Structure 1
């Protein structure tokens, strides 16, 4: 199993500064060291519809996008990128355009002539599918094909002064890479390195790299592993594009994106980001900008004082730390699921929340209460910050192993605060369950979600933290608790609702994505713990919904393919009946239950 903790960063765990990447010229908007973290989006208008594509570009760019991507399925579509490019330049818009290519290297060749950057997917650029016999000769032949075909593309990009994004997606690794390395972060890194080495062989370095997945654990692991591998190989620090694929929309999309992107930004990783929401693309920009601004202001915040840990020590301390804490009955710690605790202000909060969040724990007037209002006896809490961890505090916790530690961050860099506090507790031999505590003074619910998800997601993905204890005095208790559970779900630690893995849409989308998502949610949102993929076209599914239990994929205009896991069960279902057929499919496999009906216990 891959050691997801092993990676190298320039900054130490309790500090913040950006990774020093090389500069890549993309039109008139350079990327990398010395330049701000760029935000971008992808058009959903058809690339063949010049008028619609240009109008949408103006909206997205007006919202603040610094790069704009269009899909280019074939040579005809790629050629029209030149028309769009020319129309935008005639309007005085110089924002660099990016072509998004899958399966069709000829489309990539064509697009390269017209736009500043082309994204290719190593998983489907030239690799053939359906090989029945894998041997060294097949591997060698396919590798040589990559060198020859992609090499010619690189030489032309070098001649034209274009940039290339090597965009690896977990859900669309080539069969060859899966056979060699498995469907793993290691497979993603190896897929990238094969194409990167072709670029380096031709002394071409205007390269941006992305490692994406709809699973935040896989995505962050792959990016960190790539950073380490580039460092160990002595390669330049190429700029990194960050994103969580198929993050969804609304609250869930924002929380999931913030967990994945924010946790990497917090460690100084990332030069450009795209928040992929199943909404109008211009809605992505303010979310991305808010996330970047929140993290990068830590550049001027002071680091904690003391004998701060190195990455090596911190990773050793956090290895499986969550499960190694002392279990407090079947409540928290050890193998228990992480909990959500809210230090509510009075009995009225408890009453209001009982029916709505039966899996939350409230603490009215300092007394822990179960979901039914029954006091939880024999368990106390101890709140302290990293600056308050003294020898006396350590001894108190050693003497009271059933005490829950509420590790509070009060500074500008919660990730650094929590890591320093955790390090001191671990050095002192403390095994008490630790909950992350912080008070957010934001009045804007969306900003609270972004900030809390980025902060807490970083720590939970590190491998420790037995729950969350968040407060936001200007927001409702329900919203704070709902956000907390959303963060736990986005980090794959506790499933408390249905998870919808939905693509953001693009020019390939074959149906009204937002209306369809709303329809499917209305029918299935009560299926706690189930993961449902909603993909606009076959390019983004089934691969990009690899984690989904069921999938709804656009197959052709008016036709939907339905999946159970990675297997297509029903093909070409009329869209008007597709949701009904999806429900039938869920029922046939025993995963349906009526609203209000609890899932079976294992």
Structure 2
């Protein structure tokens, strides 16, 4: 569990994001979290780079709860973050740590290698630093995210395994084993990279490594620093959807260089496209061809404008009678061009009525209402 959101097993894949407001600006941070929650975000991460930021989380959480906002909160901790993580854990539902930075030593430009003794000594420091945080999270029944980033692998991991997906997987496994030794299993793992191919390889490697050692922890998926616009969405989808289709992934974040709330519809769209969640109308529409009997693009926009607030329906908008009925067979409702200026409305495979094109959208809404599937926006 992350707060009131179950994660992993057969539970729905959750969509999360991160605010971009300064945590010390408490009113702004609260407003940012509420915007995400209102957009449907199910878990919200907040940066806590200092003890002051960690303490501010207490005020943020209280103001959110006073306003009736119960979205789970995650503290994001990086450089030498032991004390920060301990302070933040008092006020959040999950703490995210970065294995490459949690116990941070500045890289030595003159170093040529790590001896086995040096590697083991660093591992012992990590174990000692992580222990109090794990004990606290275990006591409070809160979660830990072991969040590996390709761009911030520890120096000894780079020397030993290279700046590679294998190095990312080994970095995660080191922390996973420490948690398991302490009988702490409320763990989520992420393996983020800005290159989709690296991200895919790292998640697959850590999933295989966990399976080989008997660990079954949830995975949080994301392509970090994906950018903006169409390409950012495509890049994120290529990574996230590929792994979800392979059965990997329990939470997702689409990391866009845009307002955080714009990430949420993309995440839910990925899940719906794979049949993992059903949170919006699914529109089935042909690309149009010479047989199309009406302006398909305009009509689809009209149908979407009238019905997009509904949940759980499949609505097909097809340009002609040749392929329309067959290709929309799984849809709940169909809007199909029958002849010039004439529309056929379907319920499933059954033709219900024929109406003038000018009345098509209105008649579709009326049919949905007749079936008791309508809710007012």
Aligned to 1:271: 250
Q: Does the Cα contact within 8 Å between 2:271 and 2:277 map onto a contact in 1?
A: no
TM-score (norm 2): 0.72
Per the alignment, residue 186 of structure 1 pairs with: 166
Which residue of the other structure, out of 92, 96, 105, is the alignment partner of 1:119? 96
Deviation of 1:33 after TM superposition, in Å, equals 1.5
Cα distance in 2 between the residues matched to 1:119 and 1:240? 13
Out of 152, 157, 164, the position equivalent to 1:177 is: 157
User: Structure 2, unaligned stretches of length 5 or more?
Assistant: 279-286, 291-298, 305-317, 320-377
1:166 aligns with 2:146: yes
Note if 1:42 corresponds to 2:18.
yes
2:192 match: 212
Contact 1:43 1:69 in 2 (8 A): yes
Structure 2 residue aligned with 1:494: none
Match of 2:210 in 1: 230
* Distance (whole Å) between structure 2 residues aligned to residue 344 and residue 55 of structure 1: 43
Mapped to 2, the partners of 1:83 and 1:255 lie a distance apart of 37
Q: CA deviation at 1:109?
A: 1.4
8 A Cα contact 1:61 1:95, kept in partner: yes
Asked if 1:199 is matched to 2:179, the reply is yes
Quote the RMSD (CA, aligned, Å): 2.3
Residues 108-507 of structure 1 mapped to structure 2, 5 A cutoff: 108-131=85-108, 132-133=110-111, 134-235=114-215, 237-296=216-275
3-state SS of 2:138 partner? helix
| 2:189 aligned counterpart, secondary structure | strand
> 1:229: Cα distance to partner?
1.2
Tell me which residue corresponds to 1:506: none
Relative CO higher for 1 or 2, CA cutoff 8 Å, sep ≥ 6? 1
**Would you say the 8 A contact 1:98–1:118 is kept in 2?**
yes
**Equivalent residue number for residue 538 of structure 1:** none
Structure 1 residues 239, 443: closer, same or farther in 2, change over 3 A? farther
Q: Displacement, 1:36? A: 0.6
Deviation string 1:139-166 (CA, Å, 9 cap, x unpaired) is 1211100010011211111111110000
Secondary structure, counterpart of 1:296 in structure 2: coil
Once the two structures are superposed, residues 165-213 of structure 1 have per-residue CA deviations (whole angstroms, 9 ceiling, x without a partner) of 0000111101010001001111001000110111001100000000010
Q: Does 1:106 align with 2:83?
A: yes
- Distance (whole Å) between structure 2 residues aligned to residue 118 and residue 200 of structure 1: 17
The answer on whether the counterparts of 1:166 and 1:192 sit within 8 Å (CA) in structure 2 is yes
Whole-angstrom distance in 2 between the partners of 1:250 and 1:52: 25
SS of 1:208's equivalent in the other structure is: strand
User: Deviation digits for residues 383-430 of structure 1, max 9, x if unmatched?
Assistant: xxxxxxxxxxxxxxxxxxxxxxxxxxxxxxxxxxxxxxxxxxxxxxxx
Contact 1:127 1:142 in 2 (8 A): no
In the alignment of these two chains, the number of paired residues is 285
- Stretches of 4+ moved more than 4 A in 1? 343-346
Structure 2 distance, partners of 1:221, 1:443, is 38
Tell me how far 1:138 sits from its aligned partner: 1.7
Query: Could you tell me whether the CA contact under 8 Å between 2:13 and 2:276 is conserved in 1?
Result: no
Cα separation, 1, equivalents of 2:250 and 2:276: 15
* Distance of 2:247 and 2:117 partners within structure 1: 41
